[in-house]
Amino acid sequence: MSSLLVIEVSPGGEHSVSRGITAEFVSAWSAKNPGGNVITRDLAKDPVPHLDGEAIFAGYTPVEARSEGMVAKHAFRNDLIKEITGVDHIVISTPMWNWSVPSVLKAYIDQIIIPGVLDGSGAAGLTGKKVTFVVAQGGSYAEGAPRHGWDYETGYLKLVASALGSTDVDIILAELTLAGVVPGMESLIGKKEESIAAAKAQAKVRDSA
């Protein structure tokens, strides 16, 4: 049975562009994989904690010498790793905040990377898995845009997925999502709507088997 892990990041609820695109993706995936298992982890509603000293050093401390806090935090990290490595396809749906990923997504990424367990140095647990990122950006960072080169999100996300072993990494991108929200971007509303429609169309037809 095929399995899909959906990681949601946006706190925007029904107003979220990234969530709306991801809903189209999940619907298409479910149609192609009847009986498939969809697991959802919503980091906006249930954020993971940022790493602290106990969580970091538990992996370098002999099991018998770990504090209760180390044991619990290391087990939590391993549970996250088992979840993401136990599925066939991973979809991470996120907005761009301040030219990079929201901190709650960075916290999740930090939690799942443990040297020797899941890392970029040989413990490549995402090998053979498809990873799709759904990204909503308030502006445009495409070539020719005033802030071309300011996108420190999509390249980073691709690098993380690739470093952890996936060779099948895809990005579905919606741009200009703040048009009509932020003053001065009214002339871009049409392009925003076109970009969102194109992203939803891609979500429906991308190979999600």
In this prediction, residue 192 carries a pLDDT of: 95
- Its sign, for the CA torsion 149, 97, 24, 38, is positive
Domain ranges, ordered by start, for the chain: 8-205
For residue 123, what are its two tokens? 């413990």
Q: What is the pLDDT along the chain (209 residues), one digit of tens a residue?
A: 799 999 999 999 999 999 999 999 999 999 999 999 999 999 999 999 999 999 999 999 999 999 999 999 999 999 999 999 999 999 999 999 999 999 999 999 999 999 999 999 999 999 999 999 999 999 999 999 999 999 999 999 999 999 999 999 999 999 999 999 999 999 999 999 999 999 999 999 875 54
Q: Cα–Cα distance between 139 and 152 in angstroms, integer?
A: 13
The per-residue pLDDT for 206 is 72
**Could you give the CA distance from residue 83 to residue 143 in angstroms, rounded to a whole number?**
37
**How high is the pLDDT of residue 207?**
57
Q: How far is 75 from 77, CA to CA, in rounded Å?
A: 5
The span from the CA of 122 to the CA of 77, in Å, is 18
Please give the backbone phi and psi of residue 163, each rounded to the nearest 5 degrees, phi first.
Answer: -60, -30
What class has domain 8-205? alpha beta
SS3 for 178?
coil
